[in-house]
Amino acid sequence: MEKNLPKASTQKITIAEIAAQAGVSIPTVSRVLNGQHDVAPATRARIEQIIKESGYIRSSAAKALRKGSSGIIDLLVPNFDNQYVTEIVHGVEEALERTGLRLAFSFSQGKSLGERQWLDKIADRATDGAILVLARGQSSRLNELRRRGIPFVVVDHRGELGPDVPSVGATNWAGGRMAVEYLLSLGHRRIALIAGPPSFRCSLDRIAGYRAALEAAGIPIDPELIRPGDFRLHSGYTQTGALLALPDPPTAIFAGNDMQAMGVYKALYLRNILVPERMSVIGFDDIPFTAIVSPSLTSVRQPLFDMGRVATTMLVRLIAGEPLDSPRIELATTLITRESCASPPSPSLKIREDSQQSSLE
């Protein structure tokens, strides 16, 4: 991505221009800049000469030369209502501390500015670049940033953006498969999924992971066990009610994300159905409260802190005019096992607990 900030006081040559002058590809220039050895000596010498003559600024030297720089990075987040945002912010903050850049903060939801107003505002403000955690991946907004020459990276926890947008995400398909494989390993065969909104790429990827795990285990997909949700507590709550009303209810619920898992907990609590004795529950995201609730929630961890950190590193490279290794990076999800999953109830346990439940009602 080219940078063309009107306020910049130093002229910079881009990697693309070096490549054009040297008559080589951009990745070749990048390999030379990164000190890799797989470039022919003559080519390397030619590229290094152009770099030297052009005044191309490597990132370590870039900071000192950015006299026209505001020294400020803008971070836009929807709000703090979901703890995943705060994890991302921590990662951004840690990466920025090493750069000397300052973090300016805006919310796109809630009582203050909307995303459109924020974009109008950022144009009036000095900024070196932006990290965006969007409420919806609206590509029109991103085009607006491009048009204004503002470097940006999206922390795309929903996986909605195309591969050409600088963004960091997580491996949702692998995470979904992992959650179901774990439940299968505990002996579950009736495993429900409360999915997220079908407009979110991450949601479709998690459903695909769920299907892949069941199919690999030779278990037919029961469409009754796949329920739509919206990633909020309430849909976890209502869909659990619907699942329990089935003639053959599940013994485990993959809740799609941690907020929906809290809705599952609430529905089970009100029916006096114990977790994990009578129902296993697994979330996705691994936001901080998963470890705090009782029973603590087993969840597929999105490395939100690392996603914020990597997005910041990418943005600093873009600001310095350096190439990205790849515009789209996906970090690995991992399973964090806690107290909310167990083997499915045996028939004798089921009877004992049913009698308990009636004694409380």
Rank residues 61 and 351 by Cβ distance to a copy of itself and give the closer one.
351
- Among candidate residues 318, 316, 314, the one with its CA nearest the CA of residue 3: 318
CB of 157 to a copy of itself, least distance (A): 16
Select the span of 201-209, 213-221, 242-250, 258-266 touching a copy of itself (CB under 8 A).
Answer: 258-266
CB of 140 to a copy of itself, least distance (A): 23
- 3-state SS of the chain: helix, strand, coil percent to 5? 45, 15, 40
Rank residues 54 and 70 by Cβ distance to a copy of itself and give the closer one.
70
Q: How far apart are CA 277 and CA 197, in angstroms?
A: 29
Select the span of 32-40, 53-61, 106-114, 207-215 touching a copy of itself (CB under 8 A).
Answer: 106-114
225 forms part of the interface with a copy of itself (CB under 8 A): no
120 forms part of the interface with a copy of itself (CB under 8 A): no
Q: What is the dihedral of CA 154, 160, 162, 166, to 10 degrees?
A: 10
Q: How far apart are CA 132 and CA 115, in angstroms?
A: 10
Select the span of 49-57, 110-118, 278-286, 316-324 touching a copy of itself (CB under 8 A).
Answer: 110-118
Tokens at residue 26, please? Answer: 């951009």
User: Out of 104, 184, 219, 244, which residue is the one contacting a copy of itself (CB under 8 A)?
Assistant: 104
Whose tokens are 């029109």? That residue is 140
Select the span of 78-86, 131-139, 146-154, 177-185 touching a copy of itself (CB under 8 A).
Answer: 78-86
Task: Please answer whether residues 168 and 92 qualify as being in contact, where contact means their C-beta atoms are separated by less than 8 angstroms.
Answer: no
Q: If residue 118 lies in a helix (H) or strand (E), which one and from where to where?
A: helix 115-124
79 forms part of the interface with a copy of itself (CB under 8 A): yes
- For residue 330, the cross-strand partners are 169
Bridging pattern class, strands 102-107 and 72-77:
parallel
User: Out of 106, 139, 238, 334, which residue is the one contacting a copy of itself (CB under 8 A)?
Assistant: 106
User: Out of 26, 43, 78, 93, which residue is the one contacting a copy of itself (CB under 8 A)?
Assistant: 93
Residue 338: CB atoms within 10 Å: 17
Residue 360: CB atoms within 10 Å: 6
352 forms part of the interface with a copy of itself (CB under 8 A): yes
Chain Cα centroid distance, residue 23: 38
Rank residues 32 and 88 by Cβ distance to a copy of itself and give the closer one.
88
- The residues binding a copy of itself (CB under 8 A) are 72, 75, 79-81, 83, 86-87, 89-90, 93-94, 97, 102-107, 110-113, 125, 233, 259, 262, 265-266, 268-270, 277, 288-289, 292-295, 352, 356, 359-360
